[in-house]
Homo-oligomer: A and B are copies of this chain.
Amino acid sequence: MTFTPEIIGYLAATLTTASFVPQAILTIRTRDTESLSLGMYSTFTLGVLCWLIYGIYLDDKAIIFANAITLLLAASILCFKIYNVVYRKRA
């Protein structure tokens, strides 16, 4: 197997997408979102949605796949955060 720069790109995409799995598990398990920023998750979720639309425009399956998964994870975390802010009167 020869080294190609694309491997670094795929590794980067895999790591940044996969990283939201432990955060989503922690948030779903504990329901604690106090140290999570609402501003971050709102902006990030919107940004990942834009990446997904961009991937659909380009018809790039790697961008679509990675961002569809990240969107699902980030949106789940955002839902817990919004729920806690609205119903529990705490961040």
Contact = CB atoms under 8 A, between A and B. Distances in A.
Nearest to A26: B37
Contacts of A23: 36-37, 39-40
Contacts of A51: 9, 12, 16
Contact of A39 (B9, B22, B57): B22
| Copy count, this protein chain | 2
Interface residues of A, number: 42
Given A12-B47, A27-B37, A35-B35, 15 more contacts: A5-B57, A5-B58, A8-B50, A9-B50, A12-B48, A12-B50, A12-B53, A15-B47, A15-B50, A16-B44, A16-B48, A20-B44, A21-B40, A26-B37, A27-B35
